[in-house]
Amino acid sequence: MKILHTADWHIGQTFYQYDRTYEHQQFLHWLVDTIKAKDIELLIISGDVFDIANPSAVAIKLFYAFLNSAVKAQPGLQIIVTAGNHDSAARLEAPKPLLESSDIHIVGLIERKADGSIDYEKMLIPVRDRSGETVLWCMAIPFLRMGDYPAVAESQTLYADGVSALYKEAYEHALTKKQGGQGIIAMAHLHTLDAELSDHDKSERVIMGGIEFVPAKAFHEDLLYVALGHIHKAQKIGGKDHIRYSGSPLPMSFSEMNYKHQVVSFDISNGVMSGLEMLEIPVTTELLRVPAKPQPIDTVLEALLQLPEATETIHTAPYLEVRVLLEGPEPALRHKIETALAGKHVRLAKIDVRYPSSAGEGAEERIASATQLQELSPLDIFKKIYHEDYERETPEELVALFQQVLQEINTKEE
C-alpha cells in the first residue's frame, strides 16, 4: 500500500497581507496529479488544514474541491484528516457523516464515553486495500487541548506526560484490533522535543520552558510510521526515519527561501515500511531578498531599480523583502522604496531594517531588571535605547518632542 503524508496546509493564510489562494490552488492541483502518478492508496493530512478556526468560504471551497478531485482522479483513494491547533475541530468534523461514504475520515474532537473514559475507537481508522481487506490501522489523533488527554498523577510536565499516556492507551487499543500481517501507524499534531523550528514556527505560542514538548519515545517503537504535523520544517525526529514532519507545502517566512518543501511517500506491505521518498513541491511564487545582505539606502534603491519590469501575471510575482542598513531614523524609507519599485514585477512584503551592531566591546549593557528601570526616568530610558540602537546621542529635537509628550501625559493624569 502506497501512502502519502502531508500537513500544515494553512489554506486561507495571507503572506504579509497578500492572498495566497492561487498558491494553494497550484499546490492542490499538483497533489492530485502526484496521487495519481504515484498510485497513492492512502492520503494522510496531519492537521492545520486551514489557517484560522473560521475560514472564508473561498478557503472551505478550495478544500472540498480538492477532496472531490482527489477521489475522482484516484478511485479507491482513502483520506484521513485530523484537526490542528489552527483548525476548529468541530467545524472540520461537521461534514464527517457525508464524507465517510467516500472513504474520507476526519477526526477533530476527542470524545469520551458515558463512564468518562476516552473513546479510542473513534480515533482508530481501518485502512483497506483494493480488495477490501484491512491491512492497516491508523491512530488518527488530532491536536490535543487541555482536558483531552489522561491526567498523570504527580507529573511535573502535565501536557507532555498526558499526551504520551494518550498515545500509549491508543496503541494498546489498536493492538486489540490488529491481526496477523496488519500494521499500525499514527498521526499527531504537536511539538516534539528537539524539533528544528523555522521562523514561522517560532511565532506559534510556546509554553514557557518547553513543557509541552513531547518526546519521540511517546510513540511506541512498533508503530510503522508516525505522521507529524505542527512544525513547518520537514524533518525526522529522534533520528528515526519513520517519525517525521512533512512540513508545510508553502513557505511561511523569508528564512525558507532556499528550503525545499515536500510531502512524504512510503510503502507498507505485510507490516513492514519501505520506499520512503520525499517529493519536492514545485514553487509557485518565489521569495526574493534584495539585497542579499543589508546595505545603505542608496545602494538598496539602485538594486531595486534593476529588478525586472512588471508583467500581467501579478499573482506569480515574487514576494520581496528589502534589506536596509541605516545609521539612524529614515521617516521616508517606505516611500523611497515603493517609488523605486513602481512598475516592477515584485510584491513588497517586508522591509528589514538593520542598524550597525552595538554588541561590541565597551557597548553599554541593556537594562536588565525592574530595579534598574525604577532608578531611571522615562527620558533616561528613551536616551539609552536610542544610543544602543543608533550608537549616537539622542538629537535635541527628539528629546524636546519626548518631553512634550511626557508633559501631556502628566497633565491628563492630573
Report the interhelical angle of 378-390 vs 396-413 (nearest 10°): 150
Residue 319 and residue 17 in contact, taking contact as beta carbons nearer than 8 Å? no
**Residue 157 per-residue DSSP state:** S
Q: What is the reported pLDDT for 201?
A: 54
Q: What is the reported pLDDT for 293?
A: 92
- Other Cβ atoms less than 10 A from the Cβ of 168: the count is 14
- 178-191 b/e with 16+ CB inside 10 Å = b? beeebbbbbbbbbb
| Positive/negative CA dihedral, 329, 330, 334, 335 | positive
Q: For residue 214, what are the β-bridge partners?
A: 192
Q: What is the helix (H) or strand (E) element at residue 167, kind and residue range?
A: helix 158-177
Longest dimension (CA), the chain: 82
Q: pLDDT by residue (tens digit) across 259-295? A: 889 999 999 988 899 999 999 999 999 999 999 999 9
Distance, first Cα to last Cα, the chain: 75
CA distances from residue 233 to 122, 146, 201, 202 in whole angstroms, order as listed: 30, 25, 8, 11
Q: What is the reported pLDDT for 353?
A: 92
Task: Give the residue from 1, 5, 4, 2 showing the smallest Cα distance to 189.
Answer: 5
Rounded Cα–Cα distance for residues 152 and 144 (Å): 15
Q: What is the reported pLDDT for 208?
A: 37
Q: What is the reported pLDDT for 204?
A: 54
Task: Give the residue from 102, 112, 173 showing the smallest Cα distance to 139.
Answer: 173
φ/ψ of residue 225, rounded to 5: -160, 145
φ/ψ of residue 206, rounded to 5: -115, 130
**Residue 21 per-residue DSSP state:** H
**Residue 371 per-residue DSSP state:** H
Rounded Cα–Cα distance for residues 382 and 402 (Å): 8
| Positive/negative CA dihedral, 140, 143, 149, 154 | positive
Cis peptide before 296 (omega within 30 of 0): no
Q: pLDDT by residue (tens digit) across 157-179? A: 889 999 999 999 999 999 999 99
Q: What is the helix (H) or strand (E) element at residue 275, kind and residue range?
A: strand 272-280
190-194 — which CB contacts under 8 Å span 24+ positions?
190/143, 190/144, 190/163, 190/214, 190/228, 190/230, 191/230, 191/231, 192/216, 192/228, 192/231, 192/237, 192/238, 192/243, 193/160, 194/237, 194/238
> Per the structure block, which three cell numbers stand in for 75?
478511485
Q: pLDDT by residue (tens digit) across 61-96? A: 999 999 999 999 999 999 999 999 999 999 999 999
> Per the structure block, which three cell numbers stand in for 198?
523555522
List the pLDDT tens digit at each of the 414 positions of the chain: 999 999 999 999 999 999 999 999 999 999 999 999 999 999 999 999 999 999 999 999 999 999 999 999 999 999 999 999 999 999 999 999 999 999 999 999 999 999 999 999 999 999 999 999 999 999 999 999 988 999 998 888 889 999 999 999 999 999 999 998 899 999 999 999 878 876 655 555 444 344 578 999 999 999 999 999 999 999 999 999 999 999 999 998 898 888 889 999 999 988 899 999 999 999 999 999 999 999 999 999 999 999 999 987 778 899 999 999 998 888 899 999 999 999 999 999 999 999 886 444 444 444 344 445 555 678 878 877 776 666 667 777 777 787 778 777 766 655
The model's pTM: 0.82
Q: pLDDT by residue (tens digit) across 132-152? A: 999 999 999 999 998 899 999
CA distances from residue 29 to 34, 70, 282, 316, 404 in whole angstroms, order as listed: 9, 9, 11, 16, 59
Write down the residue that cell numbers 502506497 correspond to. Answer: 2
